[in-house]
Structure 1
Amino acid sequence: MSEITRRSFVTKSAQAATTLAAATSVLTARRTGAAESPNEKVVLGLIGAGGRGRMVIKNMANLDNVEIKYVCDVEDARGKGAVAELEQIQGSAPTLTDEMRDVLDDKDVHGVIIATPEHWHALASVWACQAGKDVYVEKNISASIWEGRKIVEAARKYKRIVQAGTQTRSAPYMFAARDYIRDGGLGDVLYVKVFGMYSFVYGGYPRKAVPDSDPPAGLDWDRWLGPVPDRPYNKQLHRQWYGYWRFSGGNGSDAIHTLDAARMVIGDPPHPKSVQCVGGRWKHEDDDGVMPDVQIVTYEFDRMAMSLDCTGFTEKYMFKTPMSMRQADQFPFWPRSTSRVEIYGTKRMMYLGRVGGGWQVLEGGPQDLSAGFGEVVEQQHGRFPDEPHAENFVDCIRTRKTPNADVEQGHLSSSLEHLATLSYRLGNAKLVLDGETETFLNNDEATQQLKLPYRDNYRMPDEV
């Protein structure tokens, strides 16, 4: 073969390969619901139009070349409110529906944002994966460990992007903290303390039972319940579902932010070997609430211990880092921060903020104690990362890269809350976990409670 012929052959072969790859890429994109090119418009639907859902979807609507085509909610007023807000942003009104299948069956939709109450997260995510949609699902991603594993299985089986709504994982300061710890800045990390000490979610509201009643006009109560066993409408449950078992993963469904931040920066360990709680509903012991207002949880990992301190009575002297501080170059006064992480290494310790707040590393001997804080040897400010997290999800729809808060990590972090709930509800029992099978080695009752009760037509399948 002559040199000219060889060149011609190579060129034509490369052109043919490029054409075939492009055609295959388009066919694959159409089959899976992925965007066909990095510049293609990404079409999304919102499922669950409450306050958090609106915040997330507006961040995505503000991104270039993104269209919000649907708003789905079983409460008419919430859906209409979200449609009006999105019309102001994108110049056209999304279609309003109260039927999730309208969104999932539309082949033009690439992905969905699931921001329903927590008891719907897992089933809606699995249905979306089965329909070929990518998924952004709010935390906790599930209401039980078994449910969480089903989302992971569905994401892998149907090759879907599934991003957990743990937005701290998209914050630049978190990557820097992880690198600092990985490179040995703290020495060997042997103990991590995670805090959730504010009354809004951690069992801190006094609860007096209110009578059941008819649901308000414009609310489809049956579909609001979804997979949860049927029960009459209750106004308090409807608006404060996070305070009720089966509707919430426990710990007010909020400690996952700090638990997940801790897991990320220390290298994302697998399930702990054991868990045990101490606590109860002690401040509000005479009311009708069920969530503990004191819950101290200990987790045992390989060569490391982690604790989670949740309280519902400390609001007079413990404070959540204000948004103004999380949007500025400021650090909280860490000892009175309700939502911090303390990471203890053999060389130094780190204070870390969740969803903004940054981090600081301290060292110093006993002579520094009179100063009250010690020497700060390294630090980085942190911003509220909602917008970067939304951008990461949309980017991954286009590129098929693994998202910052991949479903596997969302499942492992959510499971820490579920483990704490199981221990508490079984009398603060110590539970020894088989991380491979996600069952318990020492407590059959705990294993039996991993799978929640479901209603017909809303059952999570064993095989997704």
Structure 2
Amino acid sequence: MSRVSRRRFLEDSLIAAAIAATWAPSRAESEGSLGRKVGPNERINIAVLGVHGRGLDHVKSFAKMKDVAVVAIVDPDSNCFEKAVKAVEELGKPTPKTVQDLRRILDDKDIDAVSIATPNHWHALAAIWAMQAGKDVYVEKPVSHNVLEGRRMVEAARKYKRICQTGTQIRSAVGSREAIKFIHEGGIGTVYLARGLCYKRRDSIGKLPDGPVPQGVDYDIWLGPAPKRPFNPNRFHYNWHWNWDYGNGDIGNQGIHQMDVARWALKKNKLPNSVISLGGRFGYEDDGQTPNTQLAFMDYGDAQLIFEVRGLPTPDLLGVKIGNIIYGSEGYVAFTSYSTAVVFDSKGQKVKEFDGGGDHYRNFIDAMRSRKESDLTADIEEGHLSSALCHIANISYRLGSPQPFNPRTKAFGDDKEAYETIGRFEKHLAENGINLNEATYRLGPKLVLDPEKESFVGSAEANALLTREYRKPFVVPDKV
């Protein structure tokens, strides 16, 4: 390390330590300041948090807008800065500043909003801190790492009068919006089942030993709320998705998009009456903890939501691999992409198609200018409820125990849809070389919920997983 870079490193370390010890939202902000008022013709200044993967799309999309400036790039891994800065400069915009610790930009009154594409375990705390500091927020899905965090984010948005958009961009696609409207208006009769599919191949990540923190990475900031542990590349960029400390598996990665559409189609604005989940990590042994194959069953009383995750090679179901199938008494709708849907009658004949995209980022900026949360296509409460469905499914799964495939479980009573789904699950595994006579899967308990309280009934063990133990000072507050 050169003398200049070493000096800069020491200065930044001292600054970061001081921030960690003293940063908190100011009194005015904590009492609900509206932040800087942006005039109709004024530029909106935005900071993007997390730019290794999805965050680069945030950078490019906001930087393309004439009335928006990306003024700060924030990432604990300084090796990610160059590509993000270059993306802004290539669009003819001023060079943004680069920061490793997000707390260094929260008190900057010239920043109007933050766009969050960090690992999941940082989503809630970054969003809450930003809203307490008077900034609007665009936050990637899932909005939270656990159920309680999501509710705290909703409370923060309402208390501090902030615009908070969830990154479930299907909500802004014209084709999907029109298809949902068709369903809600009775286009396929009475809806009794919404199925979400995440058939997305996920190869083994292998096994890697712990090692030194890469140069340029502020690992303490990267860990944030998560427990202190040695650095491992299989718990770092992207592969953090498959570790419970930071991610939520594919049901809470790709799957949250389809979970959101399923709940949207059912027109349910609360958690279900019960949940049960099963699955496993099949086909290989690696450092991943989360299931690569998972089923979740949620009972809403008058309708059911079933979710399927398949990380091994698989054919589609009714033309859908990553999407949804909504079943009604007079037909079904297959959502085949983020912006397309096809209607079939009860005989399986195609009767109607919907198609058309949208600009989810623009929707956020427009709502910032109108100051109306109702203008958002994916307000934070929508994001919270759909993310929570992923979390409660994972809670059932994590509390489960190994079960043999034969004889088949009787945990689902007379639920024909459940057994049909499990039958396809078994067939899928067998076709991928899994010996069902020797293998086991994890079967979670059926957990009963109190939808109004967003908690479980009679299970202290499950309720404990609605939140986590936070590493100070990175604590999501009980009261925002």
Deviations 1:428-451 (A, max 9, x none): 111111111111103110001212
Task: Give the aligned partner of residue 461 of structure 2.
Answer: 445
1:375 Cα deviation from its structure 2 partner: 1.8
1:81 Cα deviation (Å)?
A: 1.6
Give the TM-score of the pair, scaled to structure 2: 0.81
SS at match of 1:335: coil
Say which SS state the counterpart of residue 296 (structure 1) adopts: strand
1:263-302 → structure 2 map (5 Å cutoff): 263-284=263-284, 286-302=285-301
Q: 2:208, 2:287 within 8 Å by CA — same for their partners in 1?
A: no
What secondary structure sits across from 2:236 in the alignment? helix
Alignment match, 2:204: 206
Secondary structure at the counterpart of residue 89 of structure 1: coil
AA partner of residue 234 (structure 1): N
Query: Where does residue 422 of structure 1 map in the other structure?
Result: 395
* Residue aligning to 1:397: 368
Measured after TM superposition, the shift of residue 35 of structure 1 is 4.2
Q: 1: CA distance between counterparts of 2:450 and 2:346? A: 40
Q: Quick one: structure 1 residues 364 and 31, their matched pair in 2 at CA, closer, same or farther if it must change by over 3 Å?
A: closer
The amino acid of 2:141's aligned partner reads K
Partner of 1:26: none
1:109 Cα deviation (Å)? 1.1
Quote how far apart the aligned CAs of 1:252 are.
Answer: 5.3
Larger radius of gyration: 1
Q: 1:179 and 1:336 mapped to 2: Cα distance?
A: 21
Matched position secondary structure for 1:163: strand
Give the counterpart letter for 1:444 in structure 2.
A
Output the CA distance in 1 between the equivalents of 2:241 and 2:34. 34
Number of aligned positions between the proteins: 402
Q: 2:35 aligned with 1:63, yes or no? A: no
1:221 to 203, 214, 219: 219
Q: Which amino acid aligns with 1:430?
A: K
Structure-2 separation of matches of 1:95 and 1:282: 44
CA deviations on 1:210-242 (whole Å, 9 max, x unpaired) are 111111111111111011010111111112100
- Report the 3-state secondary structure (helix = DSSP H, G, I; strand = E; otherwise coil) of the residue aligned with 1:421: helix
Q: Is the 8 A contact 2:116 2:138 kept in 1?
A: yes
The answer to whether the 8 A contact 1:258-1:354 is kept is: no
Residue 363 of structure 2 corresponds to residue 381 of structure 1 = no
Secondary structure, counterpart of 2:227 in structure 1: coil
Give the equivalent residue in structure 2 for 1:306: 305
Q: Which amino acid is 1:223 matched to? A: I
Note if contact 1:178-1:267 (Cα within 8 Å) is conserved in structure 2.
no
Please give the secondary structure, in 2, of the residue aligned with 1:309. strand
Q: Which residue of 2 aligns with 1:236?
A: 234
Aligned equivalents of 1:121 and 1:149: distance in 2?
13
CA distances 1:388-419 after superposition (whole Å, capped 9, x unpaired): 10100011111112211100000000011101
In the other structure, the counterpart of 2:19 is none
Superposition TM-score, scaled by structure 1 size: 0.83
**Partner residue of 2:259?**
259
Cα offset, 1:136, TM superposition: 0.3
Give yes or no for contact 1:43–1:69 (8 Å, CA) kept in 2: yes
The answer (yes or no) to whether the contact 2:122–2:225 under 8 Å persists in 1 is yes
**CA RMSD across the alignment:** 1.7
- Structure 2, unaligned stretches of length 5 or more? 1-31, 401-443
Deviates more, 1:174-183 or 1:412-421: 174-183
Aligned to 2:333: 350
**Alpha-carbon distance in 2 for matches of 1:133, 1:87:** 24
Q: Structure 2 vs 1, CA of residues 148 and 123 (structure 1 numbering), >3 Å: closer, same or farther? A: same
- 2:110 corresponds to: 108
- Distance in 2 between residues matched to 1:108 and 1:393, nearest whole Å: 18
CA–CA separation in structure 2 for the residues paired with 1:49 and 1:175:
29
Contact persistence 1:69–1:94 (CA under 8 A): yes
Residues in 2 aligned to 1:33 and 1:46: alpha-carbon distance in whole angstroms: 18
Match of 2:433 in 1: none
CA distance in 1, matches of 2:100, 2:331: 53
- What is the SS of the residue equivalent to 1:404? coil
- How far has the Cα of 1:103 moved from its partner? 1.9
Please give the alpha-carbon distance, in whole angstroms, between the structure 1 residues aligned to 2:331 and 2:292.
32
Q: Percent identity?
A: 38
